[in-house]
Structure 1
Amino acid sequence: MHGVKPVARPEAATVYVPPGRFLLGKVEFKGQCNNNDIVIRLDGTLVAPSDYNVIGDDGNWLMFEHVNGVSINGGTLDGQGAGLWTCKKTGKSCPSGATTLEFSNSNNIVRKGLRFQPPASSPNTDGIHVQSSSDVTIMNSRIGTGDDCVSIGPGATNLWIENVACGPGHGIRQIFIKTLVVLARIKKEAGVQNVTVKTATFTGTQNGASGVKISDVKYQDIHGTSRSEVAVKFDCSSRYPCSGISLEDVKLTYNNQPAKASCSHADGSVSGVVQPNSCLLQ
């Protein structure tokens, strides 16, 4: 039409971190822009402040909120948490633990080839936390923390985790807050849907992949050794039972002996070779 100018489309943007170590304080990436093609390429190491008071009780170091179409490729994140955990061991008043990388209210996120480097003894330091976000992909990464490698909060949907080496730490967990499902219902928080964990390796972790209210979940082709005699545990409540659980080709041992399974208010199906013997109600 005459007199009408076409709206310019924003060009793809790239943030590049070259090889080397670079000190970076608390950073928040906040969106609501039209550019849905942003690439953050890390060939170097981002280092958190050694003074834990810089971040304090904020709860995260790198925060992505309301972003769409962001890719984070390569690099290392060094949380430098040793000072904080030393403080906690003394019994002094110290800031609470933090999340290294958090995504909230975001969509179409791809994160590949990132390495997390906090101390193995760093409690309450999640590697990646995803909540209120959809279509998040985490691939080809090594995540070692003293807490959850990946924690999944309310409102996370279509989360794909593939080829991730997890440990030490707590593993991959679906989390809510305090009284978990009950509080989530009171607050009317959104649930977690469509989470896939594929070709993941758990080494020295407290848990593998665990959750709270579970339904329509398939555990397929899982092999390894357990740190405890009970290798498979579905601990569900009578009020919010777990349902539709599928176990296929699962083999877990404990001290080179068959492990045990424990189920409470959980039902599902079994196919292939499953060890320990399933305790699911069928």
Structure 2
Amino acid sequence: MNTLNIVTPLTLLFILFFSSSTASTTVYNVVELGAKSDGKTDSTNAFIEAWTSACNSVGSATIIVPHGQFLVKNVIFDGKDCRNSDITISMEGATLVAPSDYNVMRKSENWIRFGKVKGVSIQGGTLDGRGTSLWDCKLADGKHCPDGTRSLKFSNCEDVKIEGLTSINSQKFHIVIYDSHNVKMHGVTIRASSDSPNTDGIHVESSTDVTINRADIGTGDDCISIGPGTKNLWMENIICGPGHGISIGSLGKRFNEQGVQNVTVKTATFTGTQSGVRIKTWAKPCNGFVKDVLFQDLMMNQVKNPILIDQHYCPHNKGCPTQVSGVKISQVTYSGIRGTSATQVAVKFDCSSKKPCSGIIMENVNLIYQNRPAQSSCSSIDGSAYGVIRPLSCL
């Protein structure tokens, strides 16, 4: 009996020690691997080495990017052969800067891309895409300018967390979530000039179960854009402006296209934007759809088109001027939307004559224009209105 009393505590101590050892986190500091925090020396290889080591480590791993500026060229963090599904990239106080010459990445679609990764978290830090010179090129004549790179893209990824990240001056889209599942973004800040072309803040496409919470976005294009194949997207506590608002679309550019379903925008403020909440589809045949959408508790401050469905989108009248949209829009609710419109028509539903909008609900909408009632406009739509509705409902 005495022997048992001695062995049992020793066994417990061994188990506790072994458990704590296996649960420890392996740390990789990019500076220790050769990165320079001067913003001038190319540190790309140090980041790749840190990623490769983290992927090959047993148990959780953390890549530390300390205070300072780090020049990084276009890079792919590939998860195809990654054995680790618990990698944190900690960048508090750090700024990654793209090359100042946009021609360095002329042939690249993305500056930083994560592909086929699982269980990656990004904490803090700033991405500076240095896109101003490319914007100037495009706004001048644009003939000899590259298309530009997206600052951060996740493709074919799963269980991703992005928290406290700031992205500024992207050449093109800031953050892209494509063909991914279970992505959570919290406390993201995005900034670009109001006249910067195609600088969407966050673009989500062909992805499921994506959450965007407490994002502050001001760009020259959509604050958040939603592409085909998006399902179960939740956006809450969003500040948008300047920019083009939150847009589902444009959809329907191709005939065979996946639909958009179960999208929520809740508690958002739009200031000086081109649109508030918009659904936009090409005026051409398509088998896609938009359904089960909720816009709730939104504040509009001098927004040009607070509520808009535009199913006659056709830039430069090329390829679709005599056609109508085949995208079916249904079961969309606008609830608790209030504030001021910068144009007299605050609510515009311009739906497809071939597939009219249906199941559109408005409840407690109160929008005014220059301290007087605004107007609403409806075409090819069926729906209902409840509660206080200003402008007068055309449903």
1:112 aligns with 2:227: no
CA distance 1:23–1:247, shift in 2 (3 Å): farther
- How far apart, CA to CA, are the structure 1 residues paired with 2:355 and 2:117? 33
Establish whether residue 237 from structure 1 lines up as the match of residue 311 from structure 2: no
Change (3 A) 1:240 1:20: farther
Match of residue 255 from structure 1: 370
Q: Does 1:197 align with 2:197?
A: no
1:220 maps to 335
Q: RMSD in angstroms over aligned alpha carbons?
A: 2.5
Match for residue 48 of structure 1 among 98, 103, 106: 98
CA displacement, residues 29-55 of structure 1 (integer Å, 9 cap, x when unaligned): 444567554444442433333322233
From 88, 100, 119, the equivalent of 2:138 is: 88
Residue 14 of structure 1: CA displacement? 4.0
Q: Indicate if the aligned counterparts of 1:247 and 1:271 stay in contact, CA closer than 8 A.
A: yes
Instruction: Deviation per CA, 1:217-240: give whole Å up to 9, x if none.
Output: 211111222222211112211112
Distance 1:227 1:59 in 2: 36
Shift of 1:172: 1.0
* Aligned equivalent of 1:136: 210
Equivalent-residue separation in structure 2 for 1:199 and 1:139 (angstroms): 10
Name the % identity.
56
Q: Which runs of 5+ in 1 are unaligned?
A: 1-8
Q: Which is worse superposed, 85-94 or 21-30?
A: 21-30
* Deviations 1:73-102 (CA, angstroms, capped at 9, x unpaired): 444433322111111232142123521111
Q: What corresponds to 1:268 in structure 2?
A: 383
Shift of 1:189: 1.6
Stretch of structure 1 that moved more, 119-128 or 105-114: 119-128
Q: Name the SS for the 1:126 alignment partner.
A: coil
State the shift of 1:205 in Å.
1.1
Which secondary structure does the structure 1 equivalent of 2:133 belong to?
helix
- Counterpart CA distance in 1 for 2:58 and 2:210 is 23
From 59, 71, 76, the equivalent of 1:23 is 71
Structure 1 residues 260, 119: CA separation in 2 closer, same or farther (over 3 Å shift)?
Answer: same
1:99 counterpart SS class: coil
1:4-19 equivalences in 2 (<5 Å): 11-19=59-67
* Distance in 2, Cα, partners of 1:118 & 1:215: 33
TM-score (norm 1): 0.83
1:102–1:276 CA distance, 2 compared to 1 (3 A): same
Tell me, in whole angstroms, the C-alpha distance in 1 between the residues paired with 2:393 and 2:100.
Answer: 47
Quote the residue 1:6 is aligned against: none
Q: Which moved more, 1:32-41 or 1:207-216?
A: 32-41
SS of structure 2 residue aligned to 1:168: coil
Which protein has the larger Cα radius of gyration, Structure 1 or Structure 2? 2
- Once residues 374 and 85 of structure 2 are traced to their aligned partners in structure 1, the CA distance between those partners, rounded to angstroms, is 47
Task: From the two aligned structures, give the one with the greater helix fraction.
Answer: 2
Distance 2:98 2:90 in 1: 18
Cα distance in 2, alignment partners of residues 245 and 46 from structure 1: 44
CA distance in 2, matches of 1:227, 1:27: 42
Q: 1:209 aligns with which of 273, 277, 281?
A: 277
Query: 2:17 maps to what in 1?
Result: none
Question: In 2 relative to 1, CA 53–69 (structure 1 residues): closer, same or farther, beyond 3 Å?
Answer: same
* Letter in structure 2 aligned against 1:48: A
Secondary structure of 2:103's match? helix
Q: In the alignment, which residue of structure 1 is the partner of 2:127?
A: 77
* Residues 4-62 of structure 1 deviation map (CA, whole Å, 9 limit, x = unaligned): xxxxx963444444444433333444445675544444424333333222333644444
Distance 2:75 2:371 in 1: 46
**Do the aligned residues in 2 keep the contact of 1:60 with 1:102 (CA within 8 Å)?**
no
Partner of 1:148, secondary structure, is coil
* TM superposition shift of 1:68: 4.3
Higher relative contact order, chain-length normalized (CA < 8 Å, sep 6+): 1
Residues 1:101 and 2:175 aligned together: yes
* Native 8 Å contact 1:42 1:75 kept in 2: yes
2:148 counterpart of 1:148: no
Aligned residues: 266
C-alpha distance in 2 between matches for 1:244 and 1:65: 38
Q: 1:48 to 1:215 in 2, by over 3 A?
A: farther
Rounded to whole Å, the distance in 2 between the matches of 1:119 and 1:191 is 31
Structure 2 residues not aligned, in runs of 5+: 1-56, 149-171, 281-326
- Larger deviation: 128-137 or 22-31? 22-31
